Structure 1
């Protein structure tokens, strides 16, 4: 671990990150702890969080509003990549971690800190994402993870904090571990640790139960420019505004819930519940628009790139050479991905019902079965002969 004099701590205001402040100072000999809370649109009151950090012993309490960067620089790239980890999870939490690491490293440089710290435990993915991202951005900074090493139970952690004036949580403690930002919520622990147990309705916040959704469908139109969503129902929207409005509209129809058994990077399986209304629909719409504007070979090849991209982001390698190389490929593929997709929202379903683009590769004269058909049917016989020739030769050899 090594000794550190001044530390910038990623701070959420929760028990673990609050206890990290006195623990770093009294157990590890850190002289000064500066906290940094990232505003990712989680909806928390950040002024009380700032005050709590100071009362817990921080010399300075920083709050960074990074919502615009979060959507523009992180979420939009993931949409262009149709990034779904294990083909289901749109990486809402994972995408936030490299951004938090970036502002941690920047704050450490600004304030002359020789280490950064976080409150991650040893079982999760976030410790990897923070450690690897910070090391990539500044390999000279020490990385401290007290909660990974202190070995205290939840009750012991609270008791330790109380010794240094950190009040225990007054409200009824939730059995769930929840992470929330603009892109959605991740919920785990409690009854959810039983993979056979149905998630109770109380855990959801961004999506309505099907029984409570409107009885009439709602149609929305999402406009894209080079793979980036820019309009909603024909009206230009700023990135944060677009995501916020889509979360509300889509979630109102019960769309955006995910219940999955997830393979964590550290080697364990975890039952995870996610709510991610906007991201799921944006990726679905974007992928559909690609089917209209990309050639078949690019579309098929890109699917493998998307899977690799999703694994890279999930595994904390945002600032890696492979990620940069894949970014260049994905960006090239998006040059013609402009147009509009119409989505029907109804009773937990988001269904693509229309799409159009000035860059469309769909030719009505070739696709039609009507009188306007321009496809040369006579050419098909020769094509099939050449295409099937290797199979025919193989079969003849097998039967000879």
Structure 2
């Protein structure tokens, strides 16, 4: 592998990626272009620009990708009701394809021959970044410093930073109590003080969600409007995808909704424990399930539920740009053609539940299901033949089994 001449670095402006920027310059003698994405992590990004300038970046990209993130990545995933291992709403996983996409695009725009990221050699993100990058440009070179350098401890990182005059915030000199990844969909906290799954995570871990015990004592209702499986309005007001998720985050955070303490199976083989805060996503999942209840045919819905674990696993493992994910997406999107209507939900003390739903596309027939006189909409005697036909093979099996007891 030849040494790169120009590298596009996924750059947060934090200590680790600042060290990576300088390490790339010193190790390879190459130009470094920085790319910082605003995915709704809630941090001021201009300091990243100033730091990149100070560090000698040859070009600096800072982009607001919140709308694209929600519209083209989060919403398609939520059409599938995707949950990894039945619980995780994939907040970190779904952000990586977009970051990788822009890294590769910026490399093409600037004539760079490599991209770089700050993911460690133990985690899932290295896999996600690199699989996505290679899916978009098979010739791109990917540099993963954590797999190459000898700066394997916080002490060595600090020494490198001091040697190269990289500013170090006071709170970065000691071991961080836990690491955080955040975007508009979620906040993830893991490592250090959270590594023992037998120990309850302290309340101060929470960053965007009120403790359910401290949430308002009065419930709040919210109505979410859907068109073809995507949320389009809140309480009757049309809003953009990112604005919808932002408002649902506010509501969910206020009412203590969306806290998950999970021990998951990483793609690289180990188990890890994380605390996830996904307030808006938890509300959105419940609402989407609510509107599907009346607009989605049972056969389509059950098939969709059966493929969901595979779809979620593909996203978790970094295969967003794979043909199999795109094939499943086409099936999922087909199922959403009539998933249009409104859901009313109640938010209270860490819980969210659907309390009403209605749609012009509804398959629900009160005439058929009523306990009152159905005026001939359903002939109950039809059920006898239905039962006998479905029972035939069970009867034959039972007869044989009795014979050979």
What is the TM-score with the length of structure 2 in the denominator?
Answer: 0.96
In the alignment, structure 1 residue 86 sits paired with structure 2 residue 85 = yes
1:375 equivalent in alignment to 2:378: yes
User: How far is the alpha carbon of 1:145 from its aligned partner?
Assistant: 0.6
How many angstroms does 1:296 deviate by? 1.1
**Partner SS, residue 335 of structure 1:** coil
* Cα separation, 1, equivalents of 2:54 and 2:387: 76
Q: Does 1:389 align with 2:392?
A: yes
Deviation at 1:290, TM superposition (A): 1.2
Aligned residue among 159, 173, 191 for 1:189: 191
Match of 1:31 in 2: 30
Q: TM-score, normalised by structure 1?
A: 0.97
Q: CA deviation at 1:299?
A: 0.8
**Residue of structure 1 in register with 2:169 after alignment:** 169
Kindly provide the CA deviation profile for residues 231-264 of structure 1, in whole angstroms up to 9, marking residues without a partner as x: 1011111111111111001111110101111110
The whole-number CA distance in structure 1 between the counterparts of 2:24 and 2:193 is 33
SS at match of 2:353: strand
Partner Cα separation in structure 2 for residue 382 and residue 239 of structure 1: 49
Match of 1:206 in 2: 208
Which structure 2 residues correspond to residues 1-400 of structure 1 after superposition, within 5 A? Answer: 1-27=1-27, 29-152=28-151, 153-171=153-171, 174-372=176-374, 374-400=377-403
1:37-93 CA deviation, whole Å, 9 max, x = no partner?
Answer: 011111211111111122223222211111110010001001101111111111111
Distance 1:288 1:307 in 2: 19
Deviations 1:90-138 (A, max 9, x none): 1111111000001101110010001001111101111001001000101
Alpha-carbon distance in structure 2 between the residues aligned to 1:388 and 1:293: 30
The count of corresponding residues between Structure 1 and Structure 2 is: 399
Structure 1 contact 6–30 (Cα < 8 Å) conserved: no
What is the SS of the residue equivalent to 2:157? helix
Instruction: Specify the SS of the correspondent of 1:352.
Output: strand
Measure the CA separation in 2 of the matches of 1:30 and 1:384.
76
Whole-angstrom CA distance in 1 between matches of 2:387 and 2:53: 74
After superposition, give the CA deviation of every residue in 1:262-305 in whole Å (9 maximum; x if it has no partner). Answer: 11000000001100011111112112211211111111110122
Report the Cα distance in structure 2 between the residues aligned to 1:59 and 1:164, rounded to whole angstroms: 18
1:190 CA displacement: 2.5
SS at match of 1:358: coil
CA distance in 2, matches of 1:111, 1:397: 74
Distance 2:271 2:194 in 1: 13
Q: Aligned equivalents of 1:296 and 1:30: distance in 2?
A: 60
Tell me which moved more, 368-377 or 111-120: 368-377
Once the two structures are TM-superposed, the CA of residue 315 in structure 1 deviates from its matched residue by 0.4
Deviates more, 1:310-319 or 1:53-62: 53-62
Per the alignment, in what secondary structure is the counterpart of residue 272 of structure 1? strand
Mapped to 2, the partners of 1:30 and 1:329 lie a distance apart of 48
Of 339-348 and 366-375, the range deviating more from structure 2: 366-375
**Matched residues in 2 for 1:351 and 1:291: separation?**
13
CA contact 1:120–1:148 (8 Å) conserved in 2: no
Distance 1:360 1:387 in 2: 28
Cα distance in structure 2, aligned partners of 1:338 and 1:198: 41
Comparing 161-170 and 251-260, the one that deviates more: 161-170
Tell me how large the CA RMSD over aligned residues is: 1.2
Q: Report if aligned partners of 1:7, 1:30 keep a CA contact under 8 Å in 2.
A: no
